[in-house]
Chain A
């Protein structure tokens, strides 16, 4: 009993540290900003940092807690971004900034959640590499649908087309093209702020960390650890897999909506919202430690800042970035550094899952 309480308080202490880290960074940045000490480069990066940290938390829920590899997370972010931006565009003149932005975030999350649920139905029947490949395909499908989607608004309502803008047959005088195929959405209002980003990051952290320590969370983790054993004790695998996957999609959608309100042009290009981006999120998660939310937030922050800080190196920037990435990965995975980490009991988060998977196979 005593040890249980100790263990519980240790987790809550650990969670508290994660919240504190985010809040301290927020307060420090706000103080610096008030004092005019933050460069425009840094202040421009604040919202993207929140977006990527939230995405890392979202993907870590699927990869670290549910134990399934999703390579389509950029797709959920894309859906959230387009849904949120679309909502803001059509209500730009009829709503105040705050309620509009709040609803845009909620809608971004909801729409992505619906997509996550629908995609989850076929996808979650699979596991392992098969699931990874199917999520990759869904991510690409979402990106490509966004590229052929034309939506316009005029006096008679909304018009949709999958072929071209001229097929919308809009009334010329009042017609307003909102989603213009590959040109995406332009002119989304700038509603995202660092504070909003931190709030979204904190909410997703609270949701995910509390889920981890709840009955449902333990059920999800038991599926990760051994799904046959989990099933044998009566855990509804589909239900819990679906819960984790949908929550993760909702968080990704909120992050996407936040992203969309920080840029005037939203386009689903292969680099942006393609599988490259999904892989980037996976790198955040793996680098920060599979299952460790704090780690993935830190990794997302470092890896987003690094290429920008390295700008002074001009042409060598991306090279140095890659080298740094390789070095960090080697330090994490090299047998010697692993042994060192194991010695200090740090390998817990990184290698637990890997180890167990081997056993199952």
Chain B
């Protein structure tokens, strides 16, 4: 009677060990290369890895990054590659989870990744940066905006940092006398949103902006904002600051309209994409101001070319995550060319060369003209735009 049970447990144990072995077997080439010399397995192509959420609630951001990075890589390859070598891109899913992000990183390392574009989100990016630091691998995150994302020398980012956006927003509102009484509605369960709010709050105090109401919501309850709006209205706020993503912002705009509350609305780059939302009356977004590095309907040639390519390949309008990813690939290209990096270099040598080169390059990208400082922060000017007649119009 116990025999069968024994057999089953043995079988399961075998399966488990087989799993371990399979994991080793399929990837042993990459591992041995990585452990012995750190040199690339192939030597002729650049292997760039990407990590981001392709499934789950944030899938839209990860997918945008994946798609745009692929477009950039295809363009680079068509134009002769980096220093004459072709580029390969492999993208792994992290389900918006730090642990899965590290798993994805390890998987990519087995594949022979030499440089990393990712992770897309802050927490994942922080977790992965500990690993890239230990392995000295060059990492550039398109959209990891928390301050700690670029704590290490080998990590750079394309987007603005959260503190940077919070400070810039407060400065803009105060310096241009857009409003004096400000209400904030933010997502306390979101790193991006609460990160901006913290700095906005601090900067507002120094600029004598009075924050009359600061109401939070969480990721679990983001469908009704009438309570937060009512408080803002009762406090007499003439501007509502929305450091949140456009899905929630669209609900806020709709509900404010239906309760007859018409303050000015001001947002950050997370609001980009609101005009492209389905089932949203874009008239409600009239007059909304936002700081964004990228607008899909900008008229410059680079943006138009990118948007056309993106629409053609994925029948979707790219958002700022996509633009950041596109710039990330071109930043790698520019830095690799400036640092004379070749695919046959060791990952750590490559990282050192890239680190140095990153501070010397100036990239004219989709999100502005960017230079990098040694601490990994991009320096580019945030563009303030106002929505007029369903389109972005640049403000002073």
- Contact among A32, A42, A183 for B146, CB-based, below 8 A: A183
Q: How far is the CA of A147 from the CA of B189 in the complex (A)?
A: 6
Asked if A181 and B1 sit within 8 Å, CB to CB, the answer is no
Q: How many residues of B contact A (CB 8 A)?
A: 67
Stretch with Cβ within 8 A of B (4 or more), from A98-106, A116-124, A307-315:
A307-315
> Which residue of chain A is the closest to B56 with respect to CB atoms?
A271
The reply to whether the CB of A263 lies closer than 8 angstroms to some CB of chain B is yes
Q: How many residues of A contact B (CB 8 A)?
A: 58
Asked if A37 and B28 sit within 8 Å, CB to CB, the answer is yes
Known contacts A166-B202, A302-B12: A265-B123 contact under CB 8 Å: yes
Q: How far is the CA of A39 from the CA of B2 in the complex (A)?
A: 36
Contacts of B5 in A (CB 8 A): 344-346
Q: How far is the CA of A24 from the CA of B20 in the complex (A)?
A: 13
The reply to whether the CB of B304 lies closer than 8 angstroms to some CB of chain A is no
The reply to whether the CB of B324 lies closer than 8 angstroms to some CB of chain A is no
Asked if B110 and A183 sit within 8 Å, CB to CB, the answer is no
Chain B 12-55 residues near chain A, CB threshold 8 A: 12-13, 15-17, 19-20, 22-24, 26-28, 30-32, 34-35, 54-55
Asked if B188 and A41 sit within 8 Å, CB to CB, the answer is no
Q: How far is the CA of A24 from the CA of B16 in the complex (A)?
A: 12
Stretch with Cβ within 8 A of A (4 or more), from B88-96, B230-238, B244-252, B264-272:
B88-96
- Majority-rule SS of B interface residues: helix
Stretch with Cβ within 8 A of A (4 or more), from B190-198, B305-313, B350-358, B376-384:
B190-198
Q: How far is the CA of A28 from the CA of B21 in the complex (A)?
A: 11
Known contacts A164-B201, A265-B98, A298-B9: A182-B188 contact under CB 8 Å: yes
Asked if A263 and B13 sit within 8 Å, CB to CB, the answer is no
The reply to whether the CB of B129 lies closer than 8 angstroms to some CB of chain A is yes
Asked if A344 and B1 sit within 8 Å, CB to CB, the answer is yes
The reply to whether the CB of A29 lies closer than 8 angstroms to some CB of chain B is yes
A-B contact count (CB 8 A): 166
Known contacts A25-B17, A164-B201, A184-B123: A39-B24 contact under CB 8 Å: yes
How near does chain B come to A262, taking the closest CB pair, in angstroms?
8
Stretch with Cβ within 8 A of A (4 or more), from B100-108, B253-261, B283-291, B341-349:
B100-108
Contacts of B103 in A (CB 8 A): 41, 44-45, 48, 308
The reply to whether the CB of A201 lies closer than 8 angstroms to some CB of chain B is no
Asked if A40 and B31 sit within 8 Å, CB to CB, the answer is yes
Contacts of A302 in B (CB 8 A): 12, 15-16, 19
Asked if A318 and B198 sit within 8 Å, CB to CB, the answer is no
The reply to whether the CB of A286 lies closer than 8 angstroms to some CB of chain B is no
Contacts of A32 in B (CB 8 A): 20, 24
Contacts of B30 in A (CB 8 A): 39
Q: How far is the CA of A148 from the CA of B107 in the complex (A)?
A: 34
Asked if A271 and B23 sit within 8 Å, CB to CB, the answer is no
Q: How far is the CA of A311 from the CA of B109 in the complex (A)?
A: 13
Q: How far is the CA of A262 from the CA of B127 in the complex (A)?
A: 9
Asked if B191 and A182 sit within 8 Å, CB to CB, the answer is yes
The reply to whether the CB of A43 lies closer than 8 angstroms to some CB of chain B is yes
The reply to whether the CB of A242 lies closer than 8 angstroms to some CB of chain B is no
- Contact among B20, B56, B92, B95 for A42, CB-based, below 8 A: B20
The reply to whether the CB of A272 lies closer than 8 angstroms to some CB of chain B is yes
Q: How far is the CA of A144 from the CA of B219 in the complex (A)?
A: 10
How near does chain B come to A192, taking the closest CB pair, in angstroms?
12
> Which residue of chain A is the closest to B187 with respect to CB atoms?
A182
> Which residue of chain A is the closest to B31 with respect to CB atoms?
A39
Asked if A309 and B19 sit within 8 Å, CB to CB, the answer is yes
Asked if A269 and B1 sit within 8 Å, CB to CB, the answer is no
- Contact among B56, B109, B188 for A181, CB-based, below 8 A: B188
How near does chain A come to B348, taking the closest CB pair, in angstroms?
15
The reply to whether the CB of B335 lies closer than 8 angstroms to some CB of chain A is no
Contacts of A17 in B (CB 8 A): 9
Q: How far is the CA of A37 from the CA of B35 in the complex (A)?
A: 10
The reply to whether the CB of A199 lies closer than 8 angstroms to some CB of chain B is no
Q: How far is the CA of A262 from the CA of B103 in the complex (A)?
A: 12
The reply to whether the CB of B277 lies closer than 8 angstroms to some CB of chain A is no
Contacts of A246 in B (CB 8 A): none
Q: How far is the CA of A265 from the CA of B123 in the complex (A)?
A: 6
The reply to whether the CB of A36 lies closer than 8 angstroms to some CB of chain B is yes
Chain B 165-182 residues near chain A, CB threshold 8 A: none
Asked if B123 and A267 sit within 8 Å, CB to CB, the answer is yes
How near does chain A come to B98, taking the closest CB pair, in angstroms?
5
Q: Which 8 A-B pairs have the closest CB atoms?
A: A44-B106, A344-B4, A264-B130, A265-B126, A40-B106, A345-B1, A39-B27, A42-B23
- Not counting A264-B127, A272-B98, A344-B1, a sample of 10 additional A-B residue pairs whose C-beta atoms are within 8 angstroms of each other reads A36-B35, A38-B31, A164-B201, A187-B151, A265-B98, A266-B98, A270-B219, A271-B95, A305-B16, A345-B4
